[in-house]
Amino acid sequence: MALLERKVSLVKYVSGGLLACHIVCHLMSTTVDPAEESLRLNNTYRTPRPTFDRTQHDHVIVELYCSLCGVTVSGHARHCRACNKCVAGFDHHCPWLNNCIGSRNYWWFFSTVASAAAWLLWMVAILVLIVGEYHKNPAVLRTDPHYENMDSETI
């Protein structure tokens, strides 16, 4: 009985820790603004800007100047069509986070994905442990006080 209680305690703390880590990483990857530094300092990207129209322009950024944002950008910046702003070190626009992933929040995005994968693997390991315990001895899993007054015929 004490061994099972220690396992449950370990499961609660590790699951809670992984979930808390995932929540923090998720919040940070969505709240860190990946916009180009010159755009953030200019603070004009909070006002509406014209959207990119391929019929009028071949490229938005020409010679390190974004015609939509109206700022000079670095060589690694790209203009995101979904967010309509220049992103430093643009990697992709993540539809699940509804945010661009760039050099400023890439580590947080990677940590979000890694913590979700770690939490998923942890839950699969717990499931395998529970199924293994059930097949070995089903009575071990019946530690709740409601099972004390039951016999094998009512279960």
List, by residue number, the catalytic residues.
Answer: 94
CA 55 to chain centre: 35
> Could you give the CA distance from residue 99 to residue 141 in angstroms, rounded to a whole number?
43
Q: Please give the torsion angle defined by the CA atoms of residues 83, 86, 90 and 95, in that order, rounded to the nearest 10 degrees.
A: 0
At how many degrees (to 10) do helices 2-31 and 106-136 cross? 160
